[in-house]
């Protein structure tokens, strides 16, 4: 399966996201959508599992969970914005969600792929929305197959 990972859109879906996510089977959004219109636009590309972030409006917080759990190709996924944790380091996320094979988070606006020795992975796709904090906009693509460790890559949006 091919998954598109996105976070921190803050109200805008860049045109390049449409190109990068053109052939994904599922989109995981790790919060700070910025509005329901972002969710609706992404849903035109593929089914979306999303969580709310710390700056999302109360309407989205009522509609979306803070943490989403799902299974894809026998892998256990956790999607969270990450702001609720004291630390946003990969080890702290793994400690908070030890059952997860794949943890997708946002909030830091810093793209990251951290592979653990047990073949689990923590991924921050980076900020996909307006440029903030001098971070380059990006998303991630994750490919899964039953019985094979997940493979992720960061895709710049500029």
Q: pLDDT, tens digit, for every residue of 109-132?
A: 999 999 999 999 999 999 998 877
19-46 mean pLDDT:
97
Q: Does domain 2-156 have CATH number 3.60.21.10?
A: yes
Q: What is the pLDDT of residue 135?
A: 83
Element (H, E) at 78: strand 75-80
Identify the sign of the CA torsion 33, 46, 68, 20: negative
Residue pair 48/68 in contact (Cβ under 8 Å)? The answer is no
13-42 mean pLDDT:
96
Query: pTM value?
Result: 0.96
For the chain, give the mean pLDDT. Answer: 94
**Residue of 129 and 19 predicted with greater confidence:** 19
Tell me the CA distances in angstroms from 4 to 76, 128, 129, one per residue in order.
Answer: 16, 12, 15
Domain boundaries, the chain: 2-156
pLDDT at 142 over 70: yes
């Amino acid at each position: 399966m091919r998954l598109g990972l996105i976070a921190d859109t803050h109200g805008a879906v860049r045109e390049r996201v449409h190109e990068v996510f053109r052939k994904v089977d599922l989109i995981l959004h790790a919060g700070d959508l910025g509005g329901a219109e972002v969710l609706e636009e992404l849903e035109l590309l593929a089914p979306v599992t999303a969580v709310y972030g710390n700056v999302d409006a109360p309407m989205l917080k009522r509609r979306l969970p803070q943490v989403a759990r799902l299974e894809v190709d026998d892998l256990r996924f956790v999607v969270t914005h990450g702001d609720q944790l004291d630390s946003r380091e990969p080890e702290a996320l793994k400690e908070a969600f030890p059952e997860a094979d794949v943890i997708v988070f946002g909030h830091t606006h810093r793209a990251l792929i951290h592979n653990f020795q047990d073949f689990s992975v923590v991924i921050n796709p980076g900020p996909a929305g307006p440029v903030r904090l001098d971070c380059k906009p990006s998303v991630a693509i994750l490919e899964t197959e039953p019985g094979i460790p997940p493979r992720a890559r960061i895709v710049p949006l500029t």
